[in-house]
């Protein structure tokens, strides 16, 4: 779990950092916990003047920093189109490994088992809630989406 200062986030301005710090948010892990849910991003956005969309982007970056061993490769993985835990959860380990090797060369690339470890961690982490209010667990779990309502399960 990497605890970084807010300045580590791509696209964050000095003014954004000042506004977040005025609300007691000094590190990426604090920002993640303050912005995981859409309602929290809306509230924080009203208090800081930072748009909920920007806060969502910062939350996704902060969540990716929670993946052990990934920090060094984060810029590369982002260039490959994986910007959130949701994207990482859906990635095929072999394909992602091959793409990282193509990007950095075999000598500088993580092992396949490391990439599998990243994806395994992502699958056990909470996903940042996307706009629209669908709970994070239901965004990823077909079993939860197909569970019938309680009334339909009653035996008559």
* Rounded Cα distance, 122 and 116, in Å: 10
Question: For 59-97, what is each residue's pLDDT tens digit?
Answer: 999 999 999 999 899 999 999 999 999 999 999 999 999
E-strand ranges in the chain read: none
Q: Which domain holds residue 46?
A: 12-66
Asked, for residue 147, whether it belongs to a domain, the answer is no
Which residue in 62, 114, 64, 122 sits closest to 91, CA to CA? 122
* Same structural domain, 51 and 83: no
Asked, for residue 150, whether it belongs to a domain, the answer is no
Asked, for residue 28, whether it belongs to a domain, the answer is yes
Q: Of 37, 66, 95, which residue is a domain's last?
A: 66
- Per-residue confidence at 33, pLDDT binned at 50, 70, 90? very high
Question: For 100-112, what is each residue's pLDDT tens digit?
Answer: 999 998 888 999 9
How high is the pLDDT of residue 107? 87
* Same structural domain, 79 and 118: yes
Q: Is residue 22 within 8 Å of 49, Cβ to Cβ?
A: no
């Amino acid at each position: 779990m990497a605890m970084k200062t807010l300045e580590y986030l791509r696209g964050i301005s000095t003014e954004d950092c000042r506004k977040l710090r005025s609300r007691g948010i000094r590190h990426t892990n604090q920002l993640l916990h303050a912005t995981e849910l859409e309602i929290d991003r809306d509230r924080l956005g009203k208090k800081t003047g930072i748009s909920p969309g920007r806060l969502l982007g910062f939350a996704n970056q902060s969540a990716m920093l929670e993946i052990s061993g990934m920090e060094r490769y984060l810029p590369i993985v982002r260039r490959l189109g994986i910007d959130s835990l949701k994207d990482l959860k859906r990635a095929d380990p072999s394909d992602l490994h091959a793409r990282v090797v193509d990007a950095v060369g075999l000598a500088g690339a993580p092992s396949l088992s490391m990439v599998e470890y990243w994806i395994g961690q992502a699958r056990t982490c909470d996903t940042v809630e996307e706009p629209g209010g669908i709970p994070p667990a239901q965004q990823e779990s077909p079993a939860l989406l197909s569970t019938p309502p309680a009334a339909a399960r009653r035996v008559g």
